[in-house]
Amino acid sequence: MAIQNRVSVTLSPRMRKALELAAGLDGSTTATYASQLLSSAIKSELKDSPVLYEKWLQLEKEAMKKESWDEIVSPMVIPVDEQQLVSQQTVKGWFLSGDNPDGYIIGTDKVTLHNKLPSGFIRSKRDETKGFGTIMQQTDITKHIDNKLSLSAYIKTRDVKNWAGLWARLDDKDLQVLWFDNMQNKPIKGTSGWKKYEVEFEVPKDSVTLSFGILLVGSGNVWINEVELLELTDKKSEKQSGLEVTLDF
């Protein structure tokens, strides 16, 4: 029996009737429509999981090399748990924020690496997500008044429908914004491989708090890795060890 027919006969009578109705409107057979529906659901599941999607891309590359899917062996997918993918709100030093944090998930991805290092990520929970979310952290910046600093990170994206950007903000003691840059004038969109982005700024008088991270506006997936905070001088750039920040994942 063909797989399409096996799918059809194992459904409940109620579901078969629903498929018959949908197939009739679609102009296809019930079995064919069921197969298409199953395929679409599986692709959606793969797309929404960073771990599964990366493994699917690996399988596609192997199939293209061998010019066949018959010889491809599916790798064992490690369950998403604390060792594989740290769930929302549990990334050491980082936290989830934004005007719609409930629409996003942050975590540590130990499969999507850069220079063999685990990545932090933020992704939307749904294909249509309003507002923005950010994986971010904050630190006292008072020891660096009048210094010029650089925030840089490697960023990778997939299916960013609106835009994403590396961002930093300086606030005074009353939480008034003294300086802010979120790359909105040069946004990251769509799907892109690892690329280094950088934001430079001088720390003005009265600065108390530095906030920074990667933000995602709307739906998509964003990974971040190798975050650096440097002090820029005329002669060299120096890592800022004095700041209370956690720059890895």
Shared domain for 130 and 50, answered yes or no, is no
Q: Percent of the chain, pLDDT > 70?
A: 71
Last residue of a domain, one of 34, 66, 98: 66
Q: Which residues of the chain have pLDDT under 70?
A: 1-12, 16, 26, 30-31, 33-35, 38-55, 70-90, 235-242
Q: Looking at the domain assignment, is residue 9 inside a domain?
A: yes
Residue 75 within any structural domain of the chain: no
If one counts the domains in the chain, the total is 2
Residues 59 and 172 in one domain: no
Are 89 and 182 within one domain?
A: yes
Query: Does pTM surpass 0.85?
Result: no
Cβ atoms 144, 203 nearer than 8 A: yes
Q: pLDDT digits over 63-79, tens only?
A: 777 777 766 665 544 44
Please tell me whether residues 7 and 59 are part of one structural domain: yes
Are residues 174 and 92 part of one domain? yes
Question: Domain check: are 20 and 125 in the same one?
Answer: no
Query: 77 lies in a domain?
Result: no
Q: Are residues 92 and 187 in the same domain?
A: yes
Please give the residue range of the domain that contains residue 53. 3-66
Under 8 Å between Cβ of 226 and 198: no
